[in-house]
A and B are shown apart, each in its own frame.
Chain A
Amino acid sequence: MPSGGAAGMEPEPDQPKAVAGGGRRKHLAMLERLSKHSSSSTTSTASALPDSTSASPVVAFLTRFAAAKLAAESALSACRASSSPEDEATASLAAAAAAIDDLDRLVAESSHALPPYELRSALAAAADLRAAHRAAASEIRPKKSFSFRNKSRAPKNPPQDPATVPPPQPPPPEQPKPSIDVILPGFGFRARNGATLVKDLRVSNDKDGDFTLADLVSCEVFLKGKCRALYVHKLRDCRVFVGAVIGSVLIEDVEGCTFVMAAHQIRIHEARATDFYLRVRSRPIIEDCSGVRFAPHALKYDGIDEDLKESGLEEETGNWANVDDFKWLRAVQSPNWCLVPEEERLQTVDISEIHEREHDS
């Protein structure tokens, strides 16, 4: 009967075959040929020996498939039933996964001998079980990572996330802000207009700290000595001279400025019409910039050689000219930056005579 049923199903694959094109059609045709071959070889014997499993691989498969499917289903229902002890649920979940894996393997092994309909319904049954297992897994352990295919979890997760994540968001923005000034009182120049700002990091104890320049307009900034990191934000028409930065410099939103500095890393965001005189260990990068120009380092003061050396910056790497523009990832030169023509470059600036004392306008 099963083999006869399989033979009766044969016309059906002709429909998808007619619609489907290319490789799929070829594949189906091959499966069909194989199934014809196997079922024709079985139909002759099947009538004589209807119960013989050796005679029909299809019957054998269906029997084994039914058994494996039953095993997977019972493991799944076991883990749904054992709701309270998590270990138990986890164990039966794992057993279910193993049973479904067995099912997959069985289908894969027998696929060449199966009629198309049998194959498709077996694959569909395995997929259903897989989906049921996934649902059970997310119920029991929502964090279980089945990273291969968690797309169908989409309807489950998003409703939770927006509900749990955004509401606590609004309050924290207020908390960190007061702490900025509390924690970093002396580590920077902020909100000044038309001032000359001088800091000698060698005489203070701040040499392991970072330094911030923010919201400055028409200022001259002189920073001698070394610091670990430099943050620059919102500068307009300023001239900035910095000794050595052992770590990285992050510059954001500057316009009409000149920077002279040495550092290990330099990142420049949203700069317009600004010149950079740099010595840098790695390649400087720009992003969302226009009209920025680059030139080699040009700064001098008593002791700068020691500062550079102790910061690992004594060597001129030539990287000041190797600028990466994240908004221009092509082989040709970015229109957003260029080199300062030699005749326009600053002469080496000597700031030895400038001492720590603020001249406010």
Chain B
Amino acid sequence: MGLLSIIRKIKRKEKEMRILMVGLDNSGKTTIVLKINGEDTSVISPTLGFNIKTIKYQKYSLNIWDVGGQKTIRSYWRNYFEQTDGLVWVVDSSDVRRLDDCRAELHNLLKEERLAGASLLVFANKQDIQGALKPAEIAKVLDLAAMEKSRHWQIVGCSAATGDGLLQGFDWLVQDVASRIYVLD
């Protein structure tokens, strides 16, 4: 117990946040992380396993866990749930056919008690592609309104290719997490 108090204190001092990025394969999770970190996004292989990035964002230090979305490795997502402050769910807005899968996986994930306190940011990615569904339509298909009362959530349209909307989304997430975790400051 003494150790936990110490860890918690350290976490407060550095203003650290742990962000978990998940979503179906091909939704653009890794591209979003690299883009927001100002890295080259032209050669990205589908994620076999996971990537961790620590990014300074405003006065916070974000530990971003970007976990692969292929069906085979989705069952390993649960290994990353512990201590998650913010959850980012990435949607390929032009992949209309798999939106049902997308909703099922999301609601499955949100049942997880270890994520019960995490704020949820939904990125409706690939808005730069003609014919992509708009964030409002994605919100409807994913049935986000169902958790209106049980969770802080927000949907933001974005394009990992151009960078549009990424900062807007992370701004909301960081503010929302900060207002919960750092309530004492």
Contact = CB atoms under 8 A, between A and B. Distances in A.
A123 B5 CA distance: 14
Given A94-B184, A248-B26, 5 more contacts: A143-B152, A172-B140, A184-B131, A267-B70, A287-B70
Interface of B: 1-2, 4-5, 7-8, 25-26, 42-46, 48, 70-73, 82-85, 94-97, 99-100, 103, 107, 110-111, 113-114, 116-118, 126, 128-133, 137, 140-141, 143, 145-147, 150-152, 161, 180-181, 183-184
A324 B83 contact: no
10 contacts: A145-B118, A147-B82, A147-B118, A150-B114, A165-B107, A168-B145, A169-B107, A228-B126, A283-B45, A283-B46
Given A180-B96, A231-B95, A324-B46, A160 B130 contact: no
Majority secondary structure of chain B interface residues (helix, strand, loop or mixed): loop
B97 A214 contact: yes
* Interface size grouping (class) on chain A: 35 or more
A164 B111 CA distance: 11
Contact of A108 (B1, B82, B126, B181): B1
A210 B72 contact: no
Nearest to A142: B150
A327 interface: yes
A282 interface: yes
Contact of B70 (A165, A175, A326): A326
B129 A210 contact: yes
A97 to B, nearest CB: 9
A282 B46 contact: yes
A294 B17 CA distance: 43
A210 B1 contact: no
A147 B96 contact: no
B69 to A, nearest CB: 10
A264 B70 contact: no
